[in-house]
Amino acid sequence: MNNNLKPGSLLFRSKGIVEHVGVYLGGDRVIHSSPETGVKVVLIKEFCKGKAIKVQNVEDLDVETLSTRIETIFAGSTEYCLTSRNCQHIANYLIHGTPVSPQLRWALLGGVLGSLFATYRGSNSMLYLAGGALLGCLVYSGSLKYDLLLNENEIGSAIL
């Protein structure tokens, strides 16, 4: 197994029950989107915030296409939006060309199922909606497969 980060690798960091994701650009830099800063390029140490990062390597990434997509993002709004410009929307657009958030979809699916269950039971639907959404996030996070796990002390030696 290659223990080096490659430009275009997806980097995941735990953020409570959700997985925060960014794209490694090389040279110790990561692009990501957060509610606090919107879309931003930061140093990898700032991205990891003292936590381990999990890596999904992306094969055959066209660096020119990645650069063009980064320019497109910065030419428009860089504000964070949960439903259209969260970290997964940005990462998936940069790597695959489609701004999707599977984690958000799982949360919404869980929330809908929770609401339906509450209706069936005649219970507090908001409680079941929230519980279903949390469960959806956990199911999504549990389904992710990683190529590499780096603790904070290993990150520097993995940078190309």
| Residue 84 belongs to a domain | yes
| Residue 88 belongs to a domain | yes
Query: Is residue 160 scored above 60 in pLDDT?
Result: no
A 10 A CB-CB count for 85 gives 21
Give the residue among 148, 131, 147 at the shortest CA–CA distance from 139: 131
The per-residue pLDDT of the chain, averaged, comes to 88
Task: Give the chain's domain count.
Answer: 1
pLDDT at 1: 40
pLDDT at 30: 97
Judge contact between 55 and 5, C-beta under 8 A: yes
* Residue-number span of the structural domain to which 85 is assigned: 10-100+145-158
Q: How far apart are CA 88 and CA 100, in angstroms?
A: 7
The pTM (predicted TM-score) of the whole model is: 0.86
| Residue 112 belongs to a domain | no
Residue 20: give its domain's CATH number. Answer: 3.90.1720.10
**How does pLDDT run across 67-121, given as a tens digit for each residue?**
999 999 999 999 999 999 999 999 999 999 999 999 898 888 888 888 888 877 7
**How does pLDDT run across 18-63, given as a tens digit for each residue?**
889 999 998 889 999 999 999 999 999 999 998 999 999 988 788 8
| Residue 54 belongs to a domain | yes
